[in-house]
A and B are shown apart, each in its own frame.
Chain A
Amino acid sequence: MNNQEALKANLQYILDNRDELLMQYFGKYIVVNNQEIVGAYDSYENAVQDAIQKYGEEAGFLVHHLTKEETVNFVVRAQI
């Protein structure tokens, strides 16, 4: 599995298990590696730094802020 596939699989794991994960990790920055929760942190920076140290830069781990409704970044200047 390449990096992009790993990231997508990790995102799908969160989407499939969102309700369960919310009960346990609400408000946390969770790290998902190989479709498994491997850490929960209070900040994005700590989550990434720890994940890089443990799994390396190429692992395809995913960091996700678990909130009740997924945050939407409203960007007026976005060309999408």
Chain B
Amino acid sequence: MIHRVDYSIKIPANKSLTGKDITIPSNVGLQTIGALLNVSIMPGKAIRDKFEKSGQQYLSVAAQAMIDTGASGSVITPQIAGQLGLIQTGYTLVASVNNQQRQPEYYGSIGFSWGGIADTALTACPLVGCDCLIGRNILQYWYFTYDGKNGTVVICD
């Protein structure tokens, strides 16, 4: 399936400095905010199946995720991992600009607005500017096009 995300931003008159409705073109929107996606984070499939079999509801958390081709694995904040009570399955070495340290790795899933769900390892690490990073462990299953000229991201999963 092909999914196209458009990054034009509509600012209503009551929030606009000019007092009029403003639409920021999609190419400017994408350049400004980056390739963000609305996602939901939830426990991994084996845990969700268990909840569903027992007729219980599992928790999920809505988050803004940035597609990050520089990250080998996907990342969530420690707050989200704690809220969902995800199962820790190990550690990942994370390098930032200033530091390198082992961070906990959890078994979870990321759900996308088009209905796709990626069951994967999620590293927990405090992040600046977003709640989640979609790393190459998910991108390896996608065709992904960043169209800066038209301000769209196209994902085929």
Question: B89 and A62: CB pair below 8 A?
Answer: yes
Question: A73 and B93: CB pair below 8 A?
Answer: yes
Contacts of A80 in B (CB 8 A): 94, 96, 98-99, 101, 103, 125-126
- Given A44-B120, A78-B75, A70 contacting B94 (CB threshold 8 A): no
Q: Chain B interface: which size bin?
A: 35 or more
Q: Which 8 A-B pairs have the closest CB atoms?
A: A78-B96, A79-B126, A49-B46, A63-B89, A72-B93, A62-B90, A73-B73, A73-B72
Contacts of A77 in B (CB 8 A): 66, 68, 127-130, 133
**Residue B139 at the chain A interface, CB threshold 8 Å:** no
Shortest A56–chain B CB gap in Å is: 10
Question: A52 and B87: CB pair below 8 A?
Answer: yes
Question: A73 and B94: CB pair below 8 A?
Answer: yes
Q: Quick one: CB contact mask for A30-53 with B, threshold 8 Å, 1 for yes?
A: 000000000000001100110111
Shortest B82–chain A CB gap in Å is: 14
Shortest A72–chain B CB gap in Å is: 5
Contacts of B75 in A (CB 8 A): 73, 75, 78
Question: B107 and A75: CB pair below 8 A?
Answer: no
**Residue B119 at the chain A interface, CB threshold 8 Å:** yes
Contacts of B97 in A (CB 8 A): 76
Question: A7 and B95: CB pair below 8 A?
Answer: no
Partner of A73, one of B47, B71, B129: B71
In the bound complex, what is the Cα–Cα distance between A80 and B78 (angstroms)? Answer: 12
Q: What are 26 A-B pairs with beta-carbon distances under 8 A?
A: A7-B90, A48-B46, A48-B107, A49-B44, A51-B89, A52-B47, A52-B87, A57-B47, A57-B87, A62-B90, A63-B121, A71-B73, A71-B93, A72-B94, A72-B100, A73-B71, A73-B75, A73-B94, A74-B72, A75-B94, A75-B127, A76-B70, A77-B68, A79-B96, A79-B128, A80-B99
